[in-house]
Amino acid sequence: MPYSITQSCIGCQRCISACPTQAIQTDGVAFWIEIDRCNQCQGSYGVPQCWATCPTNEGCVSLRTGAAAVSLTSASEASEDYWESWFATYTRMVARLQSAPQSSYWQTWFDGYSQVVKRLQTT
pLDDT single digits (tens) 4-25: 787 778 888 888 898 999 998 8
Q: What is the pLDDT of residues 43-86, one digit of tens each?
A: 888 888 888 888 876 677 665 544 444 444 455 445 567 777 77
- Domains belonging to the chain, first-starting first, are 3-122 (3.30.70.20)
The DSSP element (H or E) to which 60 belongs, if any, is: strand 60-62
**More confident of the two residues 93 and 21:** 21
How far is it, in rounded angstroms, from Cα 37 to Cα 72? 22
How far is it, in rounded angstroms, from Cα 119 to Cα 36? 48
How big is the CA angle at 55 (ends 38 and 90), to the nearest 5 degrees?
110
Three-class secondary structure of residue 26 per DSSP:
strand
Position 67 scores a pLDDT of 41
Position 70 scores a pLDDT of 44
Position 109 scores a pLDDT of 85
Q: Which residues pair with 24 in a beta bridge?
A: 33
* Residue 6 CA: distances (Å) to CA of 51, 58, 99, 123: 11, 7, 15, 45
Q: Provide the 8-state DSSP code for 103.
A: P
Q: What is the dihedral of CA 111, 116, 117, 120, to 10 degrees?
A: 160
Position 57 scores a pLDDT of 67
